[in-house]
A and B are shown apart, each in its own frame.
Chain A
Amino acid sequence: MSTLIVVEHRDGALTASTTHVVAAARALGTEVDLLVAGEGIDAVAAAAARLDGVRAVLTADHAVYAHQLAEPMAALIVACVDDYSHLLAAASSSGKDILPRVAALKGVPQISDIIAIEAPDTFKRPIYAGSAIATLSNHAPLKVMSVRTSAFDAVAETGSAEIRALGIVVDNTLSTFVGDELATSHGPELGSARVIVSGGRGLGSGENFKLLDGVAAKLGAAIGASRAAVDAGYAANDLQVGQTGKVVAPDLYIAVGISGAIQHLAGMKDSKVIVAINQDEEAPIFGVADYGLVGDLFEVIPALESRL
């Protein structure tokens, strides 16, 4: 048995998500190869080759893969996945886009968002916004699965796998890249941050939302948000934490002015330590918080910033 992992990279660097997916693949007990596709990917391939437990890094370096669009990526993966029993990618926006397309082209189902591996063919995943955990067995010849990266620890980077160019070029007449509007983030990335400070509707405005920046800077934290805060335009789309946003599990999650709807909890309730700051002592967020502070965030946040 062997596993192929679709490597994610951005701005010429490996994203942290891949290190967690490799950990999941190693838990399968199979050989692990990585696929790096893009244009000008030498540095990414070299970084991928350092991940512990990797047998080989396969590369496809061509303009058609430049933005890792789903259509050419899926065609490429279909062309090189035949020898594998498992195909994994992070359950990130890129993995979610590409992987089901490959599964369907191969005529096999996909299991999304696995959080535990019971056996090479048996997996756990949350359903209904994390209200239930399903155990599924997968009997397909190719087991396609996206991995919830927060559920697996990152592997170390002391390896030196072989790098092999595939030389596969596909064509793509279906989609073309037009442009990116990427948020300029200061501070760590939400998915891999050790501390996250998240704001909700309670912040009241985009201007007020910036109150969180001071605390975040002192803690070296990433900023997150509830759906209500994103919908209201206080925070960027990709900061949404929850069932239909990002799923995070940092050491410390500080929820500020967030009520704690189940859809939000789905994205953060596996954090190691949860702090909730809310003026409504009945807010459901307190039910999952290790440390709840009932109070007006506009008093609490400046006080907290000054004491850190």
Chain B
Amino acid sequence: MKVLVGVKRVIDYNVKVRVRPDHSDVDLTNTKMAMNPFCEIAVEEALRLKERGVASEIVAVSIGPKAAQEQLRTALALGADRAIHIESEERLDSLEVAQVLARLVAEEQPGLVILGKQAIDSDNNQTGQMLAALTGMGQGTFASRLEVTDEEVQVTREVDGGLRTLALRLPAVITTDLRLNEPRHARLPDIMKAKKKPIDSRGIDTVGLAASGYLRLERVETPAARQGGSKVASVDELVDKLKHEAKVL
């Protein structure tokens, strides 16, 4: 079975973003970028499916600037077989990304698509659900366990209140949650070998995406900083302050 994994290039999760002085957006110049952590989990899950003999081929896909090829190289070093890069310097919303991914699904006919549950830049948590809708597939969002057989995938999902298990007919879309697996790191020899693996890079104009222009980013601001930093010396002082100053007890 072929597995398609989504790989998004995002700000490194350790880096604090700054807002541009003109409030047009955040400022990402010279910022450390990385593979979205939930996509690392998606790649890892695909690798494990291949190691178990369930997946036969792993195709990593990224839509984004030229530099997104760095994250695709990482996916290839980890063990993806090939990569597709749809180059776009414009920022796309999740629906547009899902529309592009739906085109690639039609082309590649994967048995399973694994995306992250959320990109840590936009914090949208939409793309997998949208792709499932556009391709008429079932969706297993926020997955913490997968079991794939010939016709179906059983997916255990992290939901409010606990865990829920569903069975989905294949092909299906899965989005990863944090507890699905612990991603491995790429080894140096594999990083070298990955340089020879193919990346099929095409312009966004080749996929016939009709941008709707429905969403407009008007302004980006830094949130009001919280006034914290006060300390108390003892448990007694804490309880006293919570009772008489903050009045929350």
A binds B: yes
Chain A interfacial positions (CB closer than 8 Å to B): 10, 67, 69-71, 74, 92-94, 96-105, 107-113, 122, 126-140, 173-183, 185, 191, 195, 219, 227, 230-231, 236-238, 240, 243-244, 246, 251-252, 262-263, 269, 272-275, 281, 286-294, 300, 303-304, 307-308
A293→B48 CA distance, assembly (Å): 44
Q: Which of chain B's residues have a CB closer than 8 A to the CB of A287?
A: 226, 228-229
* B105 at the binding interface (Cβ < 8 Å): no
Beyond A112-B125, A274-B226, 20 additional pairs, beta carbon < 8 A: A96-B142, A100-B94, A100-B126, A105-B133, A107-B212, A109-B95, A110-B94, A111-B215, A128-B121, A128-B123, A135-B218, A180-B165, A182-B162, A227-B178, A292-B230, A292-B231, A293-B234, A293-B238, A304-B238, A308-B239
Q: Which of chain A's residues have a CB closer than 8 A to the CB of B131?
A: 104
Cβ-defined contact, B19 with A132, below 8 A? yes
Would you list 21 pairs from A and B whose C-beta atoms are within 8 A, ordered by A residue? A93-B158, A96-B125, A97-B141, A99-B129, A103-B133, A109-B96, A109-B212, A110-B126, A126-B123, A133-B221, A175-B138, A175-B139, A237-B158, A237-B177, A244-B118, A263-B13, A274-B226, A275-B242, A287-B229, A288-B226, A291-B246
* B122 at the binding interface (Cβ < 8 Å): yes
A183→B161 CA distance, assembly (Å): 6
A132→B182 CA distance, assembly (Å): 29
Q: Given A128-B121, A175-B138, A237-B162, decide whether A103 and B218 contact each other with a Cβ distance below 8 A.
A: no
Interface centre among A100, A251, A307 (most CB of B within 10 A): A100
Cβ-defined contact, A274 with B154, below 8 A? no
Residue of B nearest to A281 (CB): B231
Identify B214's interface contact among A96, A97, A139, A300, CB under 8 A.
A139
Identify A291's interface contact among B142, B166, B179, B241, CB under 8 A.
B241
Q: Which of chain A's residues have a CB closer than 8 A to the CB of B235?
A: 293, 300, 303-304, 307
Cβ-defined contact, A307 with B95, below 8 A? no
Residue of B nearest to A301 (CB): B235
Chain B interfacial positions (CB closer than 8 Å to A): 11, 13, 16-17, 19, 26, 38, 93-96, 98, 117-118, 120-127, 129-134, 136-142, 144, 154, 157-169, 172, 177-179, 212-223, 226-232, 234-236, 238-239, 241-242, 246, 248-249
Interface centre among A109, A113, A300 (most CB of B within 10 A): A109
Identify A100's interface contact among B129, B178, B223, CB under 8 A.
B129
Q: Given A97-B141, A231-B178, A244-B117, decide whether A304 and B167 contact each other with a Cβ distance below 8 A.
A: no
Q: Which of chain B's residues have a CB closer than 8 A to the CB of A230?
A: 178-179
A287→B238 CA distance, assembly (Å): 17
Cβ-defined contact, B248 with A251, below 8 A? yes
A246→B160 CA distance, assembly (Å): 9
A273→B246 CA distance, assembly (Å): 7
